[in-house]
A and B are shown apart, each in its own frame.
Chain A
């Protein structure tokens, strides 16, 4: 409880501090660069907790058999078919940042599918268990692995309730400069953090989904499309029982 209060205090402090700094020093330039709900983040400025990036996934709209989001993620982040690497790893060893899961209702046999990836929890179990702090959450809610201090213990994979993480089982050579990966470390969906920081205002999967099943946005901004949609419709968190307050929400499960 106490810790939460301190966290809250810290959050408030940083919000105010960054807000003041932003208006005082760089606000004019930044304002001009605004793209939709997002803006490019200058390299010398830390991610801000004013934002909480997230996704709203509508599984009713997700088309059976479609895997456009998976393919887009592969090529954006250079894994799977988006890279010539991981040839020696078998199917169970290959990385998978996003996957489509088919759900079949046990009673009615009705089937539907949805994309699954890191749920970018507010209380991420992978961050709690990581011995080195390599698994961390950015101020804007994105959960990442720092590949430079990950020792490859895989405790975070054991702890993740969504099986969202993969371990790299061999040397890699064909990588994207925006997306560092490496043998012996763990990785998962980054919510296209490089695109967000660049100011693209969306993720590869959301961009690629022609069925509009994936909506990217700022959960902290009451006027963002994602917040408005979430106010209008009933949404769910996967494994809501664990109280992780996920950044990825679903409709129609």
Chain B
């Protein structure tokens, strides 16, 4: 008999569970409180101004939106690329993808000058605007991934999971390209006008998404006492290593292509050499914490066997990811636009000057609120629906566990 993967809702009755949900809820409420302050007073209470137009909320929102599509990768590997081992991991992957997109969108929408006019955003669409395309891509993602989850959970629909999974996969690529293009289309600014930005965002989404997923999976299994075998952890962390290496490559290409054009030299110099905080965030945050250290950990002979270290590596990728968004989004705006090439310019409106930005507690609150929403949604959903497998032990997951006979994971059932 083939081993069967069972799924069940987590019990979620312990004090620790409610404490965790309560903590996420508290941060969400604090985040909404910050929104109230921002919207009631106007954006003057934030650190944003007419030079730094998009601030910390966009750093969080863009990070979460691209991470969301990356989280879905785990499911796509199973349904699109037919890797059986990933199949039991798919439900949680799809759920978290929806949750993170929801959190990211919450931040994006609540940072608008007029969030009360959301209906206008949905009804007056300018077909030429990349932003408007994104407004259409988001609900499509929810619908596609929602249907995907349903097909996976409903036995009658199981046989179509491949098709819907493929559809969701294509949609997620569009979504990340769309998000990357928001910046790519801003031709006026040196930091953004690069065709490489959209593919770089896709690679980053792979890395950030997998780091978030692996960390959450390890936490879920540990806190619910479900077995998580070494073979799953090993595979996912190896994949993470590949993604980090790919991100590395893209950062390199991005700055190299930028350096190729003489007109971008001063911008590159700003980010890489004398941009103060941005330079530090680039080298220490993005490259050091986000790429070099986690890469070293996941390939280190002994550290890579420790779950604690793997968890730390995931957290580093996440932190480095936020730093990279800060450098791209804020750094790209702080550097003065070249309006009059060949001249030194000055004015009462910050022309020719590096813009300064000090994020306020309200913007941070909103960003963290978005993450709290995503985590709260996930925590609550796994209590009410069977998202998490009862066991991901090596016996079930590793085809080479008993070398004598081939073990395959084929059938799936839900615990009654």
Residue positions of A touching B, CB distance < 8 A? 88-90, 92-96, 99-106, 116, 125, 127-134, 149-155, 157-163, 165-171, 183-186, 238-239, 242, 253
Contact = CB atoms under 8 A, between A and B. Distances in A.
Contacts of B43: 93, 167, 169-170, 184
A161 B188 contact: yes
The 7 A-B pairs of least Cβ separation, nearest first, read A152-B113, A184-B113, A92-B49, A161-B188, A170-B42, A169-B44, A131-B131
The size bracket of the interface on B is 35 or more
Given A88-B44, A101-B346, A131-B126, A158 B54 contact: yes
A167 B114 contact: no
B49 A99 contact: no
Given A96-B50, A103-B343, A163-B349, A88 B355 contact: no
B339 interface: yes
Contact of B345 (A101, A128, A129, A134): A101
A159 B185 contact: yes
Interface in B304-350: 333, 337, 339-340, 342-350
A171 B165 CA distance: 47
B126 A132 contact: yes
Contact of B49 (A90, A151, A155, A184): A90
A242 B337 CA distance: 14
Contact of A161 (B49, B115, B339, B343): B339
Interface in B99-120: 112-115, 117-118, 120
B185 A133 contact: no
B118 A166 contact: no
B155 to A, nearest CB: 41
| A contact patch SS | loop
Contacts of A130: 126, 129, 131
A82 B43 CA distance: 21
Contacts of B48: 93, 167, 169
A102 B345 CA distance: 6
A125 B187 contact: yes
Contact of A158 (B53, B128, B339): B53
Indicate the member of B339, B342, B349 with the most A CB atoms within 10 Å: B349
B350 A92 contact: yes
Nearest to A115: B347
B124 interface: yes
B340 A151 contact: no
A242 B187 contact: yes
Contact of A184 (B112, B347, B355): B112
Contacts of B348: 96, 99-100
A183 B345 contact: no
A152 B337 contact: no
A162 B351 CA distance: 10
B113 A99 contact: no
B282 to A, nearest CB: 21
B125 interface: yes
A159 B188 contact: yes
A101 B129 CA distance: 30
Contacts of A166: 50
Given A99-B347, A167-B50, A242-B188, A89 B44 contact: yes
Interface string B80-98: 0000000000000000000
Contacts of A92: 49-52, 350, 355-356
A59 to B, nearest CB: 11
Nearest to A87: B44
Interface string B10-39: 000000000000000000000000000001
Contacts of B340: 101, 103, 238, 253
B121 interface: yes
Contacts of B188: 125, 159-161, 239, 242
Contact of A183 (B53, B113, B124): B113
30 contacts: A88-B42, A92-B49, A92-B356, A96-B50, A101-B339, A101-B346, A102-B345, A103-B343, A106-B344, A116-B347, A127-B126, A128-B128, A129-B130, A130-B129, A132-B124, A132-B126, A133-B126, A151-B115, A151-B117, A151-B118, A154-B54, A154-B113, A155-B131, A158-B53, A158-B186, A161-B187, A163-B339, A167-B43, A184-B39, A238-B339
